[in-house]
A and B are shown apart, each in its own frame.
Chain A
């Protein structure tokens, strides 16, 4: 693994390495068909990872759903939505199901030398979600951490390649938590894909989950690749 080391604790990601990890990541995504693709800017100078998915949200989620496995959440939510609609007709309580289109982009920040997660969300009629609605859609177990941890502050910013408003997970503390992750894998001489590790940590905060198969990604490569 090559990183530019400013000190023992610094694990900055060079742009070339960013592109390589993204390439590996997309190859795996194509294998498991979970929708990630690589896009380039019009001048082909820069690129980014992109994925769009639809999510069904039900504000009145029954408590037992929170314990369910992530892989089944969407399907279970949908089923519960149908049930509760019937119940609500009886009880007179209103439960609404909404479909939201999420678009996630992973870009490289040359200033902080880390990847950055950009995203936007809109309802099917095209209405964009407000920052407030984005906050509310974050899973309950991350809310407290979101409120106190500056590294996962969500703000609205201009997408540096498209020039359009996106929400961003602030990148300035990425190095801190990635150091811990990478230091331990370094000790065990285990190769990792920086993007897969990073995204598995920051993604869930904003409703983006990675299949566990991404963990196998690097170990598949390390059997053939040179150990750096």
Chain B
């Protein structure tokens, strides 16, 4: 069991070295130096970039500063997706550090949700946790918890406190002894090339014969074209937290150990690098 707990820690403490550069058309009073930061994979952009905002606001006039937003190679980055998911989906096979452009003007209303305060992030995070528990336990576990337990999950994430977070989250990872796992697995499969932002459907951790479903079973069901090689060559990679888990891995195990703090398995399907 020690090995499994190590996985939880490895997932929690994953970091991505990032270089933030101010968009060239932003109006500054003097030149803006890039800002370097190690971003937690499990957190959200607007939760961990206060220092980035302060750094660039120092060289700008107050009236030129509106809501901050981030972009990678022309694509606005959705702050409500975990950072690790954004990186895996858009930049995982590029050279580090991850180069993100910072904007303070022309907020892309059609692409990004607004994030005027930390309360918005907390509301989004808790909504994801609640939805995950609706799938796993018909909301019974999350609804039985007190408000202070919900707060502890959020504070654990916000303050990067692994133990504080998992003291409560472990309850969301339990299931009745007579069952083989959760009711349904909370997951989302992302592909940057589709109009649909993600695939999310009901999927059980065990089949009708009681056999544990694997990651491969899930993918075969949800997006077969993405994993079955057309001409013998695999064109895509299946990535979670920057690694390619074996397709034989039981989905129940993945859900318990490699979910993000929002209790969802966020899975990226990306083009395999050709080199």
Taking Cβ atoms with an 8 Å cutoff, the residues of A that contact B are 6, 41-43, 110-112, 128, 130-131, 155-158, 160-165, 170, 172
Contacts and interface: CB of A to CB of B under 8 A. Distances in A.
B200 A160 contact: yes
B113 A157 contact: yes
27 contacts: A41-B196, A42-B195, A42-B196, A43-B194, A43-B196, A110-B201, A111-B131, A111-B135, A112-B131, A130-B114, A155-B123, A156-B114, A157-B113, A157-B124, A158-B80, A161-B197, A163-B195, A163-B196, A163-B197, A164-B110, A165-B109, A165-B111, A165-B112, A165-B114, A170-B127, A172-B134, A172-B139
Contacts of B127: 155, 157, 170
A59 B198 CA distance: 39
Nearest to A170: B127
Q: How many B residues are at the interface, by size bracket?
A: 20 to 34
Interface in B78-129: 78, 80, 109-114, 123-124, 127
Contacts, number: 56
A124 B26 CA distance: 28
A110 B202 contact: yes
Interface in B182-227: 186, 194-198, 200-202
B237 to A, nearest CB: 21
Nearest to A132: B116
A45 to B, nearest CB: 8
Interface of B: 78, 80, 109-114, 123-124, 127, 130-131, 134-135, 138-139, 186, 194-198, 200-202
Contact of A160 (B138, B139, B197): B197
A136 B73 CA distance: 37
Contacts of A164: 110-111
Given A110-B201, A155-B123, A161 B130 contact: no
Contacts of A165: 109-114
A170 B134 CA distance: 14
